[in-house]
A and B are shown apart, each in its own frame.
Chain A
């Protein structure tokens, strides 16, 4: 599997992919952080779905990592696109047959790919964390929000906790993308279905059907990223979302192992 990991990293390191991904991460993190701080006094709200996070909340030790956790959903969509594209493109380019001739163990290919993309997700989330914290200081200065509590041990542990949660959520979204990539074998289909499902279908249904978000992996992963909320606990969100994802991954892994490679 180490050989697969090394080979996959060669592909992921290409500038056209890595630079565009990191540009997207920078944009998403910058956007979320700037909206959170610059609209702090706006009556329309400065966070998800018109939620207002006030100055007093931003001044808490957890304030330094709030924009980072708010960006998790969009980071997850970026990860979903990359995991889906990197998996499905092997079918559309016809390169899967080359991979399988050089590494006949399909499970090694699959989990080597997953491992390399997890490393890529770590790089994405690390960049986002650094940007979110740096920009939080910058925008807090502009909006005169006190940052004394941000350098306390509580703040550091909040950043670390948020980093782990955002990483778990981002990888979760990526696994969802990989499942779709293996299922549909086309990057365009996998990405469009994944994005439409997460951003539109889950969102709409959750808005109209009470408590249905308890069963949607995308909604649950965004709750994992913020460490749980008053309706859904962190533990429930984590275990239920990953139960869905690992179940789905097991099914597509079986399909991948058994299916003829005829293109």
Chain B
């Protein structure tokens, strides 16, 4: 039996005038997963998120969030936390007052607000006005607001914008912790290395179309690993290319190294063949394709 789904969309499209912001999107996100939502600017990520949250209505298609249709957001939004397109709060209110407004609106307990501020490291700045916050602090307040309903599904649009490396790591750890207790996290980000580190599922968009949807590991496994061989003597670069091609692998010279496409176990054979041909290798490194490489290859960006 397949695992229950936190999100599923079928043939979902949104058209603004003549422009198709999202075209016939289909994807599923299993409950309890951390799903990265990636794509270049203008690829339709925020449009999709807005439709999932009932802020805009689809032109065609359907979708379900926590098992409920996106045409009835009142049925699932009490269990969804969201930060869309960055934090947005009232500048003249303090961080705590801004959270109080949203807690009262959603009918949530306001007693947990200090705990949430502590969780996002704003415990001692909760009584400062929002307009005095740095970008990173605003971002953290946005995450605290998203956590107000103790959500089953957390939808975050670029949550690490404006955060320093330590802040990014804290958010990464927080999302992991939330996933560990069963919260589904749907996170869009342009920091692909971050997404690669935390997400077990991935939805990739390009020009309003879903070009991949599935497990991150499956996507990365599809990519051929690369062996980077750097000879001590630059004159040996061509010889190395011939050795690799002779063994049935494609190879090309990039900078002062030879990049050979092939399984990691070819490294040992290449090392041996180079030694026998009198080539001294300065380094020999098997490199797994990163999500960023894969992303650029797939999106053609």
Contacts and interface: CB of A to CB of B under 8 A. Distances in A.
A14 B56 contact: no
B84 interface: yes
A262 B19 CA distance: 15
Contacts of A99: 102, 105
Given A11-B90, A11-B93, A104-B74, A97 B84 contact: yes
B247 interface: no
A6 B55 contact: no
A103 B97 CA distance: 18
A104 B90 CA distance: 19
A51 B86 CA distance: 55
Contacts of A151: none
B218 interface: no
B56 A261 contact: yes
B167 interface: no
A260 B88 contact: no
B55 A102 contact: no
A102 B106 contact: yes
A208 interface: no
A95 B77 contact: no
A102 B73 CA distance: 10
Nearest to A259: B56
A237 to B, nearest CB: 37
A162 B54 CA distance: 45
B73 to A, nearest CB: 4
Given A11-B90, A93-B88, A104 B106 contact: no
A3 B88 contact: no
Given A10-B100, A260-B57, A261-B55, A97 B92 contact: no
B53 A101 contact: yes
B37 to A, nearest CB: 17
Contacts of B97: 10, 14
Contacts of B246: none
Interface string A91-134: 00111011111111100000000000000000000000000000
A100 B148 CA distance: 14
B90 A262 contact: no
Contacts of A11: 90, 93, 101
- Category for how many chain B residues contact A: 20 to 34
Quick one: which of A11, A17, A105 has the most chain B CB within 10 A? Answer: A11
A16 interface: yes
Contacts, number: 80
Contact of B50 (A6, A94, A262): A262
A262 B56 contact: yes
A100 B55 contact: yes
B234 to A, nearest CB: 55
Contacts of B56: 260-262
B92 A261 contact: no
B91 interface: yes
B226 to A, nearest CB: 42
A19 B54 CA distance: 36
Interface string B238-265: 0000000000000000000000000000
B88 A101 contact: no
B54 A100 contact: yes
A169 B279 CA distance: 93
Nearest to A263: B85
A19 to B, nearest CB: 12
B104 A7 contact: yes
Given A3-B104, A11-B101, A261-B50, A98 B145 contact: yes
B104 A6 contact: yes
A7 B54 contact: no
A4 interface: yes
A14 B93 contact: yes
Contacts of A7: 101-102, 104-105
A240 B89 CA distance: 38
A102 B74 contact: no
Nearest to B145: A98
Contacts of A93: 88-91
B260 to A, nearest CB: 48
Contacts of B107: 3
30 contacts: A3-B106, A3-B107, A4-B105, A6-B104, A10-B104, A11-B90, A14-B93, A14-B97, A17-B92, A89-B90, A94-B85, A95-B89, A95-B90, A97-B84, A98-B88, A98-B89, A100-B55, A101-B54, A101-B55, A102-B105, A102-B148, A103-B106, A104-B73, A104-B74, A260-B56, A260-B57, A261-B56, A262-B50, A262-B55, A262-B56
Interface of B: 50, 53-57, 73-74, 77, 80, 82, 84-86, 88-93, 97, 100-102, 104-107, 145, 148-149
Given A7-B104, A102-B102, 13 more contacts: A3-B107, A10-B93, A11-B101, A14-B97, A93-B91, A94-B85, A95-B89, A98-B89, A100-B54, A102-B106, A103-B105, A260-B55, A261-B56
- 6 closest A-B pairs by CB: A94-B88, A260-B56, A102-B106, A7-B105, A7-B104, A261-B55
Interface of A: 3-4, 6-7, 10-11, 14, 16-17, 89, 93-95, 97-105, 260-262
